[in-house]
Amino acid sequence: MQFRDLRKQYEHNKSAIDDGIKNVIESADFISGQAVYELEKQLAEYVGVKHCISCANGTDALQLSLLAWGTGKNDVVFVPDFTFFSSGEAVSAVGAIPVFVDVNMDTYNISAKSLEKMILKVISQGTGTPKAIIAVDLFGQPADYIKIREIADKYSLFLLEDGAQGFGGKILSKKACSFGDISTTSFFPAKPFGCYGDGGAIFTDSDEWAALLRSYKVHGKGESKYDNVRIGMNSRLDTLQASILLAKFPVFIKEELDAAQEIALFYSSRLKDMVIVPAVLQDYFSAWAQFTIRVGNRQQRDGLKKYLSDSGIPVMIYYQKPMHRQRAFDMDLYHDDDYPNTNTSCETVLSLPCHPYLNRWEIQFVVDKICEFMKGSQDV
Ligand SMILES: Cc1ncc(COP(=O)(O)O)c(C=O)c1O
């Protein structure tokens, strides 16, 4: 059993992927080729925004977005404490200050209440100038954009949706990667919609920001690549990766999202009395980047992890360490007491294999092993 089975996925999509790769190689159209523009067009249409700007990875996508807003020294960007390192790294990389915010215990997404508390704290302590909020669609579920947008408007902050894990999710019919003033995603192979290397994309309705993003991602280009009007990055999605994504896209939207949903529902219905299963809010649809359960304490989580691993079930801990405890950041800025939910989550969560190519027998086996362990640990 694989945590995410990219080989099975390739078998399922083989002829379309092979044809796409062959076309790129035969046309020698490796950088900024036709497939890149076709992909951007299809993704913008799917998400329902005016512009999709592809780039080299999801981390660059965040950094480029912050650059387009002129984010830099003394600016504060609010970031959930429970996320992958990139969400905060991008802020520090442009010279701004990441201020971490606790998450909700049910969805693991940024807490509106903690966000407002941290904004007021930054203002009263003069930590810097509040500039933007990064909301992450953690594990595939969009953040609470209704409340987060209200707060962004109240304090005149930009809203950046980090949809690296969320592409394919939605709230009612509004798709993930359309909730931010700018939104980003990652095509890292293990993501819900992944390529065969690194890749990323940025989405926005703003013509002005789209033009800036297209400049920043190609060495700050002006009229041409050799006319450079700002310091930028080299962050292009290569044509081979775009061709792979184009080949996988119809299957992703027609089959894979529903298949992952079915698996998640099966897990939830069978496990809900044993462990805490992920809460999906009403009218929300998760892309199921992860199916993450929670148990009572660290000892139980570590025991369950070992039990499942010993039974041949691949599991992962996303995430072991809160952002505010990462040594790369200025840890003096943060106080452990501000992050009770993240601290607890890091000690008690466990992500199970969850991908569209798992079969019923495999899912049942995971369920049985979890039940076995949990019953045993209750009997102790
Ligand atoms: C929430 C989040 N943001 C950003 C990224 C960065 O994406 P990439 O690996 O494509 O740079 C990831 C990737 O794991 C992620 O999970």
| Distance separating alpha carbons of residues 151 and 108, to the nearest angstrom | 18
Query: Ligand 1 pocket check: which of 188, 288, 318 to mutate, most ligand atoms within 8 Å of Cβ?
Result: 188
pLDDT in tens, the chain (380 residues): 999 999 999 999 999 999 999 999 999 999 999 999 999 999 999 999 999 999 999 999 999 999 999 999 999 999 999 999 999 999 999 999 999 999 999 999 999 999 999 999 999 999 999 999 999 999 999 999 999 999 999 999 999 999 999 999 999 999 999 999 999 999 999 999 999 999 999 999 999 999 999 999 999 999 988 999 999 999 999 999 999 999 999 999 999 999 999 999 999 999 999 999 999 999 999 999 999 999 999 999 999 999 999 999 999 999 999 999 999 998 789 999 999 999 999 999 999 999 999 999 999 999 999 999 999 886 55
Separation of CA 359 and ligand 1 centre (Å): 27
| Distance separating alpha carbons of residues 257 and 169, to the nearest angstrom | 9
- What is the enclosing helix (H) or strand (E) of 146? helix 145-154
Q: What integer pLDDT is reported at residue 344 of this predicted model?
A: 98
Separation of CA 9 and ligand 1 centre (Å): 21
pTM: 0.97
Query: Ligand 1 pocket check: which of 186, 235, 236 to mutate, most ligand atoms within 8 Å of Cβ?
Result: 186
- Which residue's CA is the nearest one to ligand 1's atom 7? 58
- Classify strands 174-175 and 129-136 as parallel, antiparallel or unpaired: unpaired
Q: Is the Cβ–Cβ distance between 327 and 277 less than 8 Å?
A: no
Separation of CA 307 and ligand 1 centre (Å): 29
The SS3 of residue 331 is helix
Q: Which domains does the chain have, with CATH numbers?
A: 6-247 (3.40.640.10), 250-379 (3.90.1150.10)
Instruction: List the one residue out of 54, 35, 32 whose CA is nearest residue 184.
Output: 54
CB atoms within 10 A of CB 146: 10
Query: Ligand 1 pocket check: which of 59, 63, 288 to mutate, most ligand atoms within 8 Å of Cβ?
Result: 59
- The set of protein residues with a Cβ atom below 6 angstroms from ligand 1 is 57-59, 83-84, 86-87, 136, 162, 164-165, 186, 188, 198, 200
